[in-house]
Amino acid sequence: MLGADAQNPRIVYSIWKAGAPNFDADDIFTRNAVSARWGIKYKNAGGCIISRFRAFNIDIHNAWVYMWIRARYGKDWQERLDKEGDAEYKTLNMLKDSLEKLDYIQLVKDDLIKNGGILYSYTRSHQGSIYYVTVSGKQHDKFTDFFYFLIDAQKKTITRTIKSEED
């Protein structure tokens, strides 16, 4: 329920979730980043199908956690958290969309399209509000990573890197 995160010694509220996963990686990453700033972590407590006993335990656990979160952040904490998460998600995607407007990316995209390929960007991971984004292409069933970027959603900056920061 409550505990100290090893990298962040302040109180961490652990909310248990079960059910179908969200498949939008950008949404997952931005919500996790914003929640971490609030000291909230979401933990997977089960899949799509769980027992009544598991569901009961999740409800009991979360009732206590929500009580502590409301005491700390107020009754409207969920709305404020969601609003902050939505804003960061929108900023990340706006910055990712701006990548395609860069001349050197547009040249690669035009070449791929001319030869039946596609160019896309995807978010690989994040550290706080810094997102690791790769611009990749697919042509003739071959995938190639072309460019790596660090996107800072809070500062609204994009930095091109030589290689993946995770490698």
Name the band, by pLDDT with cuts 50, 70 and 90, for residue 139.
confident
Mean pLDDT of 135-143: 89
CA dihedral 156, 158, 78, 124 (to 10 degrees): 180
Q: Are 145 and 136 in contact (CB under 8 A)?
A: yes
Q: Which stretches does DSSP call E strand in 5-104?
A: 11-18, 40-46
Name the band, by pLDDT with cuts 50, 70 and 90, for residue 25.
confident
